[in-house]
Amino acid sequence: MAENNGGSSVGGVPLEVIDFLSAKGGRSLIVKGGAGTGKTTFGLELLERIGKPAQSYYLSTRVGDEALYRQFPWLKATEMRARILDAGKLFLEAVSAQGKGTTPEMPESEQKKVRAAREVMRTFSEDRGAPSRVDRTHLTALLKRNPMPEVENVYNRVERALPEKSLLVIDSLEGITHKYGLEMEEFVMALQKDLVEASSANVVMILEKPEAGGIEYLVDGLISIQREELDERRVRHLRLEKLRATNITRPRYAVTLNGGRFEALGTSNGHATPAQTMWKASADPERYYSTGIADFDALLGGGFRRGSFNAFEVDVNVGIDDYYMLFTPTFLNFLSQSRGIIAVLAAGESHEKLRETLTRHTSPNVFDTRVRIADYTANETEESYIVPMARFGRDEALRAMTTAEKAARGPEQKPFLEYTAFDTLESLMGDQVAIRMYFHGVQRTKLVGNLGIGLLKPGLLVSSEILNMMDTYFRIINIDNAPCIYGIRPRTTIYSISTDTEAGSPHAKLTPIV
C-alpha cells in the first residue's frame, strides 16, 4: 500500500484514494458530480493508475468504446483497450451467444441457506482467505426480473481473475438502472454484497448527478467533483467526502483535465530541493528576458519584455515558498548570466533565506557581488549585499542606491532585475512616497532596459496607481492548497504552479486548469 504523506498523488490520483482502494478486502466508491465535471476522466485515471491490466474493467454505458478513444486518445494503447467494456457490445455478444456463460438461478430457499451460511462464516474470522468464486446471490434475485448480460459478463470476468482483486468502474449507475428498470439502491446493494463484501472486488460507481441520495450510506466511499467559475475562469474541485477506514489528510483538491488526463493539483512536495546543482541559464529571446520557466515563457510569448515592469498581486493565503517557486528561476536566470538584482523584500521575506536558496544553484560570490537588498529598517549591516537604508538621509540614500545599481550592473554595465515589494515601501514611507519611488523605478527600468517585478499584497493603497502603469498584471492565488497564477493583463486561464518533477527543484512548471 502506498504510504500517505499528507498531500501526494500517484499519477494525479490523491494518495488517500490509493490507500482506500489498496486496503485489504473490497471497497465500493461512488463518484458523483454534475455534467462536465470530469467524472469519466477520473474513472479512467483510476483504471490505469490503480488497476492491473488483467483485473480491471471499465463498463461504459453512456458512450461506446470508439467515442471514448476519440475523446481520450491515450486509451488506444493495447493494454488499456482490453479493459474498456462497451455495454452495448457486451449485450449484443451475450444475445448472439444465447446466454452462454450465465449462472443458473437458485431457488429462493437455497439462496436463504447460502446467505445464512455466509453470515455464520463471517462470525468465525475476519480473514477467511481469498474467495475462489464470485457470489451471485443478489444478482440472481435481480435477474429474475430482467436478464442483464453485460452485468453477468462483468461478474464472470471478476470471477476469472480470482483470487486476485479486481477493479470495476461502472459509468454510469443511471445507465444500468434505467435500462433495466431497477431501483438504484437495490443495484448498488447487489454490487456491494456480491462483489465487494463477498468477492473482495473494488467497485467504483459513477453517478451522473451531484447528489447521491440514500445510496451513499450503502457504500464505503463517496467522492464529489464540482465545477465553479473563479473570476470568469473554470475551476474544478475534488472533494473526499467519505473514505471508510482511511485517513483523509486533505479533504479537497483542485483538479485539471489537461490533455484528457485527470490530475489532482498541489499534491507534490514543491519545495523539496535535490542535491546542489548549478543553474543552467535559459536563453533569452530577442527583446525578452526568459523567466527560467519554459511554460511561463510560452505564456508570455517569449518571456518578460525588456524594459517592462510586471505586477504580481499575491493573495493573503499564498505562502512565500509558493510564489518563490515562480520567481526563483527568474532570479537564477539573471545571476547565471552575470546580471544583478536589486530587491526590496516583502514583510516575512528573509534576505538570509533568499541567499541560501539562490546560492544552492549559483556561486555565493556572484550573489554577494551582484545582488543588493535595500533594507529600510536596518541602520547597519555586516553583509556586503545589504544596503542599510534606515541610517541615510534623502541625499545619502540616493547615493547609496546609485552605488547599489553599479554593483548590480557590474563592470559589463548589464541590465539588472528590480524586485520591489510595495507593502514594505507603503508601510514604511506611506503610499505617496511609495508611488513616487515606483515612478522613478519605472523610468529607470525603461531607460536602461531592466526587468521590473512588483509584488503587491491585498489592501495596499498604492495598488490602483501602480497597476495602471504595469506592462503585465498577474494574480497568484491558492486553490485547495495549490498555488496558482492567472493573467489579468494579458488575460489567461488559471495555471497551477509546481515543481518540475523531471528537472527537480527549483525548476518549475505551469499546468493549465481546464
pLDDT digits (tens, 9 = 90+) for 189-214: 999 999 999 999 999 999 988 887 78
In this structure, the answer to whether residues 151 and 294 fall within a common structural domain is: no
Q: Which of 88, 81, 55 is nearest to 176 (CA)?
A: 88
Instruction: Of 32-41, 361-370, 421-430, 470-479, give the lowest mean pLDDT range.
Output: 421-430
> Quick check: helix, strand or coil at residue 33?
strand
Which phi and psi angles does 147 have, rounded to 5°? -70, 140
Count of other CB atoms within 10 angstroms of residue 287: 12
Q: Decide if 388 is inside a domain.
A: yes
Residue 115 class from Cβ within 10 Å (0-12 exposed, 13-18 middle, 19+ buried)? Answer: middle
Would 200 be classed as within a structural domain?
Answer: yes
Cβ burial of 344 (10 Å; 0-12, 13-18, 19+) is buried
Residue 303 sits in the same domain as residue 157? no
pLDDT interval class at 68 (50, 70, 90): low
Q: Which tens digits make up the pLDDT trace of 144-190?
A: 988 998 899 899 999 998 999 999 999 889 989 998 999 999 999 99
319 and 201 in a common domain: no
CATH code of the domain containing 133: 3.40.50
What is the number of other CB atoms lying within 10 angstroms of the CB of residue 107?
9
User: In the predicted model, is pLDDT for residue 114 greater than 90?
Assistant: no
The 8-class DSSP code of residue 405 comes to H
What is the C-alpha separation between 354 and 320, in angstroms, rounded? Answer: 11
| pLDDT at residue 405 is higher than 80 | yes
Residues 380 and 492 in one domain: yes
- Omega before 490 within 30 of 0, i.e. cis: yes
Give Cα separations from 410 to 189, 242, 309, 369, 372 (angstroms): 74, 59, 21, 8, 12
Residues of the chain above pLDDT 90, percent: 55
User: What are the E-state strand segments in 189-246?
Assistant: 202-207, 221-230, 233-243
- Flag whether pLDDT at 65 surpasses 70: no
Domain presence at residue 269:
no
Closest to 55 in 3D by CA, of 89, 77, 26:
26
Nearest to 278 by CA among 336, 337, 338, 365: 336
d(CA 310, CA 293): 16
For residue 250, pLDDT over 50 is answered with yes
1 has a pLDDT exceeding 90: no
CB 398: neighbour CB atoms within 10 A?
A: 12
Q: Is residue 192 part of a domain?
A: yes
Whether 169 and 39 share a structural domain: yes
Cα(51)–Cα(246) distance, integer angstroms? 19
Residues 174 and 293 grouped into a single domain? no
Instruction: Give CA 387 to chain center in angstroms.
Output: 40
Query: What is the per-residue pLDDT across 8-43, written as a single tens digit (0 to 9) for each?
Result: 555 689 999 999 999 999 999 999 999 889 998 999
Clarify whether residues 199 and 308 are in a common domain: no
Give CA–CA dist 131/117, Å, rounded. Answer: 15
Q: Is residue 108 part of a domain?
A: yes
Q: Which of 174, 205, 236 corresponds to the end of one domain? A: 205
Q: What is the pTM of this model?
A: 0.82
Residues 31 and 172 reside in one and the same domain: yes
Calculate the average pLDDT of the chain.
Answer: 83
Indicate the range of 37-41, 389-393, 500-504 predicted with least confidence: 389-393
The CA-to-CA distance between both ends of the chain, in Å, stands at 31
Last residue within a domain, chosen from 205, 234, 260: 205
Q: Are strands 202-207 and 167-171 parallel, antiparallel or unpaired?
A: parallel
* Residue 289: closest CA among 448, 415, 373: 415
CA distance linking residue 483 with residue 506, whole number of Å = 15
Q: How many domains does the chain have?
A: 2
239 inside domain: no
Which residue spans within 429-513 are E strands per DSSP? 451-456, 472-479, 482-489, 495-499, 508-512
Q: Where residue 354 sits, what CATH number does that domain have?
A: 3.40.50.300
Q: Does 176 share its domain with 302?
A: no
Same domain, residue pair 199 and 293: no
Cell numbers that stand for 404 in this block: 547599489
On whether both 394 and 486 belong to a single domain, the answer is yes
Q: Which residue, of 158, 183, 205, is where some domain finishes?
A: 205
User: pLDDT band at 104, cuts 50/70/90?
Assistant: very low
- CA distance linking residue 503 with residue 186, whole number of Å: 51
Query: Tell me, what amino acid is at 271?
Result: H
Cis-peptide, bond into residue 329, ω within 30° of zero: no
> How many CB atoms within 10 Å of residue 437?
17
Asked if 199 and 321 sit in the same domain, the reply is no
* 12 within a domain of the structure (yes/no): no
Residue 497's contacts (CB-CB under 8 Å, 6 or more residues apart) are: 270, 322, 323, 325, 326, 476, 482, 483, 484, 485, 508, 509, 510
Whether the per-residue pLDDT at 70 is higher than 80: the answer is no
365 vs 87, residue with greater confidence? 365
| Alpha-carbon radius of gyration of the chain | 30
What is the C-alpha separation between 223 and 250, in angstroms, rounded?
13
Q: Residue 82 belongs to what domain range?
A: 19-205
Q: Residue 115, SS3?
A: helix
For residue 291, what pLDDT is reported?
A: 97
| 28: in domain | yes
Bridge partner residues of 337 (DSSP):
none
